[in-house]
Structures are given as structure tokens and as C-alpha cells.
Amino acid sequence: MSLSLLKLGAVLSTMAMISNWMSQTLPSLVGLNTTRLSTPDTLTQISPKEGWQVYSSAQDPDGRCICTVVAPEQNLCSRDAKSRQLRQLLEKVQNMSQSIEVLNLRTQRDFQYVLKMETQMKGLKAKFRQIEDDRKTLMTKHFQELKEKMDELLPLIPVLEQYKTDAKLITQFKEEIRNLSAVLTGIQEEIGAYDYEELHQRVLSLETRLRDCMKKLTCGKLMKITGPITVKTSGTRFGAWMTDPLASEKNNRVWYMDSYTNNKIVREYKSIADFVSGAESRTYNLPFKWAGTNHVVYNGSLYFNKYQSNIIIKYSFDMGRVLAQRSLEYAGFHNVYPYTWGGFSDIDLMADEIGLWAVYATNQNAGNIVISQLNQDTLEVMKSWNTGYPKRSAGESFMICGTLYVTNSHLTGAKVYYSYSTKTSTYEYMDIPFHNQYFHISMLDYNARDRALYAWNNGHQVLFNVTLFHIIKTEDDT
């Protein structure tokens, strides 16, 4: 008899757990609870007319590329979200229904066992009464054993009554789940013209188009500079290191030019890893000494300022010879208009998504910065822009998407302070700080392929990550 009590206790315990679970789960499934999803405070409300807005960044601390997109408001997106939520809700309800079905089968099986026990108990009770009426004919010992068994069974009678009530409750739950399932199915059919699979395919198509768009996306406005990442510590306080922004994905050669004067040796490394380990692949002995640290490698050639002159040299690494040289008219040189740190940094050659540039100053522009776009083959000046920012007050500068960004110092506390757009011929004062980790910057150049700033920071070769802001016009904006 004790085994029967254990079985019944286990069944009732299971029912209690299921009832408690349903009381907690059902309200949240049908939206009756008070829990709400929180919205991050940092999100900015974007008007649909503003089009796609993209914050792109070269890499995170783990080296992975980042592109954050804020899409314009679209009704289909909200429909898709509601449809997905309903589908998930339906799945949960179906899982509950299956669980209750299993529990119901178990309950029916055990209920049959209980009914059989109840019949046996009633028969035993009747027999006991009959025997009690004729107890004089029985031995006292047998009567006492029978009475003890009956006393054990008597407490089961109210328990059996409660069990039958719980069994009815399970049946009611089962019917309510069926009704809820039917209601949710109806809501899903009424939510819109698109079913889930069609919406899913539209989302996949949108993602594909967005990836294609990002491949074509190159230009944006500088919003933030993070880092630096120290790649290597080598050389003197002054120097330059660079990669080719037009090189193929498999071509990751690094070029290294130590010092700002009295040097003609360019060291080449097949990769960043070889550069870090010091495994040179080739050494070039240039025909002329260079001036400053503001050189650039562009489309397989090195562009540099010839020492004690305003002449620009184009040197081909593959051919091992000078392909072109041209004087930059009126450009100051040999510390006439250098950056704040000196070092014959009068002429700064750089490249961005648009092409090849020279940044310098002239007497004609009162020592203020002049920006010239160069023909990469002939070195001819195609167009120039005169700014109002004094060259001697600039710490360094770099071009991104046709906009020149100028820092206010080469020392601790330096920040991007001024920008000039060649597209609109307008300037803007900015306040974009960056961490000058080793206190003295003698070279700062942007690489469009890597979306990063290469810097020579007091004998350390470092990389800064940049975050650009883009606006992609939608068809509604045209």
C-alpha cells in the first residue's frame, strides 16, 4: 500500500509543477504580463527622409571589420517583426499543447488506476462492515489486522476526490490552449499581405544589396579616431612607414623609411608579420635623399620630396627607377613652412579615395596651407585650393575623401582641429581628440584600403582606427 501512495504522490507533484509553470508562462505568452522591452537611450531617432545612415569603422580591438547601419523607417520591417513574434508565439503554444497532451495521457492512465483502487476500497469497506457485524465469529487477531489496513486507506478518499478535480483542470487547460492557438493563427493570417517566408526573402535580398552598397562605399566624414595599436618599436624618433592603398588584397607589402633627412634606403617587407619580425624582402637605394617624413606609396610607386628642393619624385619599385619628377611651384621647402615639429616637413604627399595630393604652403598664400591634386603619372597640379590655416601651426594633416584634416599639435593633447573640403571649398573647425601615446608624432597618413591612420610616434610604428559617417540617399530622396 505504501507503493501506491508513492505513485499517487508523484502524480500529484507533477500536476502541481505543471499548473505552476502554466500560471507563470501563459500570461507572458499572450502578453498579459507587465514586462516591456527596454529601448537603449543611445539610439537616435532617424527620419525616413534622411535615407540610410552608415557609421563605418576599419576594425575593432579584435581586428574585425565594423559597419553599423541605421536604416530608414519601413512599415514592412515592423510587419516582419510582428510576424516573427507571432510565429515564435505559435511555436511556444504548440510546444505547450504537446506537453499538455503527454501529461493528459499520463493522467488518464493513472486515473484509470485510481478508479480501480477506489472500487477496491469501497468493496473493502463494505466487506469490513459485513465482517464487523459478524466479528464475534472471527478471531480477534485477524480482525485487528484488517482494521489497520482499512485505517491506512481512509486518508486516500479525499486525495482521490482532489485528483479527479485536477484531472478536469488539465482537460480545461488543453481546451484553452486549442482556442488560443486558433486565435493566434487568425491574427497571423490578418497581419498583412506578406507571409513570413516572403518577408524573410525580402530581408535577405536587402542584406545582399546593403553588402554590395558597402563594397562601393568609400567616402565619409571623419567622426572619431581610436587607438593606437602599436605594431612595432624601431628606428629613430622620426620616420615613415606605409602600405599601398591600391594594392590587391593579397599584396600586403610594407615600406619603411627611417629618419627625415640624409637617407636614401627604403626597406621592404612582404607583410605586416614580416615587418614586425624584421624579415626584409628587399632594399631600395634611391637616387636622391628625401626630405621630411611625408612620403606616400601609391599604385606601386613611391612619391617623395627631394632633399633641399620643392621637387617631387615618383620612383617605381618594380622598375627600380625614377618615372617622373616635377617642381611644385612656389612651394616652401627646407623648413620654410614645416609642421610644428620641423624636420623639413614642408611638403606633405598623401593619397585618399580620390587620388594623389600635395599639401604645402606658399608665400603667395601668406604661409597658409595649399592643397593640390596631382596627376599620379606626370605629377602635374590638376587643381589647387588655398586655405586660411597657417602651415606652421599644423601638427600634421591627412586627406580622407577629398577633405583635409589638420591637427593642432604633434605633442600630447593633439587633436583634429580643422578640416577643409575640396568638394565644397569650405572649412570647419573640429574637435576630434586622439591618443598621442608616445608624445611625439612625426608622420600621420590615411590609408583608404585599411581605413586606418599610419603614424610614426616617437620611434613607434602605430595604427589609429577611424570612424566615418556616411549618408546614402534612397530613391525617395532623388
Over residues 385-411, the pLDDT tens digits come to: 999 999 999 999 999 999 999 999 999
CATH number, domain with residue 246: 2.40.128.630
Mapping DSSP to helix (H, G, I), strand (E, B) and coil, where does residue 220 land?
coil
Residues 326 and 194 in one domain: no
CB-CB contact of 347 with 333 (8 Å): yes
Residue type, 282: R
Residues 163 and 227 in one domain: no
Domain with 24, as residue range(s), is 3-32+82-124+146-217
CB-CB contact of 274 with 255 (8 Å): no
Over residues 422-431, the pLDDT tens digits come to: 999 999 999 9
Give the CA angle between residues 128, 129, 130 to the nearest 5°: 90
Q: What b/e sequence results for 341-377 when a residue is b if at least 16 CB atoms lie within 10 Å of its CB, and e otherwise?
A: bebbbbbbbbbbbbebbbbbbbeebebbbbbbbbebe
* pTM exceeding the 0.85 threshold for the entire prediction: no
Residues 235 and 209 in one domain: no
CB-CB contact of 300 with 244 (8 Å): yes
pLDDT band per the 50, 70, 90 thresholds, residue 44: very low
Q: Can you tell me which residue has the cell 595599436?
A: 229
Average pLDDT (358-380) is: 98
Residues 6+ apart with CB under 8 A from 98: none
Residue 368 has pLDDT above 50, yes or no: yes
Domain assignment present for 460: yes
Residues 288 and 413 in one domain: yes
pLDDT at 50: 45
Residue type, 65: C
Residues 307 and 246 in one domain: yes
- Greater confidence, 207 or 216? 207
CB-CB contact of 355 with 376 (8 Å): yes
Which among 443, 57, 414 is positioned nearest to 224, based on CA atoms? 57
Over residues 304-335, the pLDDT tens digits come to: 999 999 999 999 999 999 999 999 999 999 99
Residue type, 380: E
- Greater confidence, 224 or 96? 224
What average pLDDT does the structure give for the chain?
A: 78
pLDDT winner (highest mean) among 38-42, 103-107, 152-156, 244-248: 244-248
Residue 75 cell numbers, joined: 512599415
Helices 156-190 and 2-29 sit at what angle, rounded to 10 degrees? 30
Residues 196 and 319 in one domain: no
Residues 378 and 260 in one domain: yes
Over residues 219-235, the pLDDT tens digits come to: 889 999 999 999 999 99
Domain assignment present for 204: yes
Q: What percent of the chain has pLDDT over 90?
A: 51
Residue 70 has pLDDT above 70, yes or no: no
Residues 432 and 293 in one domain: yes
Residues 6+ apart with CB under 8 A from 443: 238, 239, 240, 241, 293, 294, 396, 454, 455, 456
Residues 260 and 158 in one domain: no
DSSP single-letter state for residue 466: E
Least confident segment among 30-34, 344-348, 408-412: 30-34
Structural domain count of the chain: 2
> What is Dmax (Cα atoms) for the chain?
138
Average pLDDT (296-306) is: 98
Mapping DSSP to helix (H, G, I), strand (E, B) and coil, where does residue 366 land?
coil
Query: Among 217, 239, 271, which residue terminates a domain?
Result: 217
Sign, CA dihedral 400-352-337-381, equals negative
Domain assignment present for 38: no
